[in-house]
Amino acid sequence: PFHSNGDYEGIAYAGTDIYVLKSNGNIYQVSFSGASGNTRKILKADIDKADFEGLCLDRKNNRLLAVPKNNPLEDSEDKNRHPAYGLDLKTETFAGTPVFYFDRKSIKEFAKKNDIDDAAFKPSAIGIHPVTGEIYVLSAASRMLFVFSPNGSIRHIEKLKRGIFNMPEGISFTPEGDMFISNEGGESSPTILRFNYIGK
């Protein structure tokens, strides 16, 4: 059992703590002593209209990155910018404003240029490649993997085959750069797939 009932969507490991993301933006800091874990603190994002799904460690900036599946800025002048929020691990404070944005217009233009249909950007998981620093974002709704430069510009979009990726909801990397993608069950059994990194 973990804490109370709820929709827990993301998990990240930093130092001796594990951080668990709830869809409402709450982040649970869990410290381990021996074989058991205890929730030390609950940190709140308090971002209106955000349905959070992705969480990862941004080691370079000593922070956690949290991204919502939806775009909470949809009804504003920033509707073409999808936000990523940051939790500073030193101060344990959540930035009230996004730490950077994914440009949805650039994503659509890139997809069109490369003949990729239905490139809906609805993040279900986020991870940072430990070798290249690139940002990887899964979109389970469209079964796509988006790759961005460290500054957030689109570099690649990969369509994921339905027969292999039932519901891609999690992404992680080894220190050497090998990638793991996890799929929820539903139509078939849940899976964890490994992709070995081949340096450029």
Q: Would you write out the chain's pLDDT as a tens digit for each of its 200 residues?
A: 678 888 999 999 998 899 999 999 999 999 876 666 678 888 888 888 899 999 999 999 999 999 999 999 988 888 899 999 999 999 999 887 899 999 999 999 999 999 999 889 999 999 999 999 999 999 999 999 999 999 889 999 999 999 899 999 999 999 999 999 999 987 778 999 999 999 86
The 3-state secondary structure of 43-83 reads EECCCCCCCEEEEEEEHHHCEEEEEECCCCCCCCCCCCEEE
pLDDT reported for residue 37: 66
pLDDT reported for residue 4: 82
Q: Residue 191: CB partners within 8 Å, gap ≥ 6?
A: 166, 182, 183
Strands (DSSP E) found in the chain? 8-14, 17-22, 26-33, 36-44, 52-58, 63-68, 81-88, 93-94, 100-103, 125-128, 135-139, 144-148, 154-159, 168-173, 179-183, 191-195
pLDDT reported for residue 41: 85
Q: 75-86 burial string, b = 16+ CB within 10 Å, else e?
A: eeeeebbbbbbb
**Which phi and psi angles does 118 have, rounded to 5°?**
50, 50
Q: Which amino acid is at 144?
A: M
**Predicted structure pTM score:** 0.93
The first and second tokens of residue 195, run together, are 């992709």
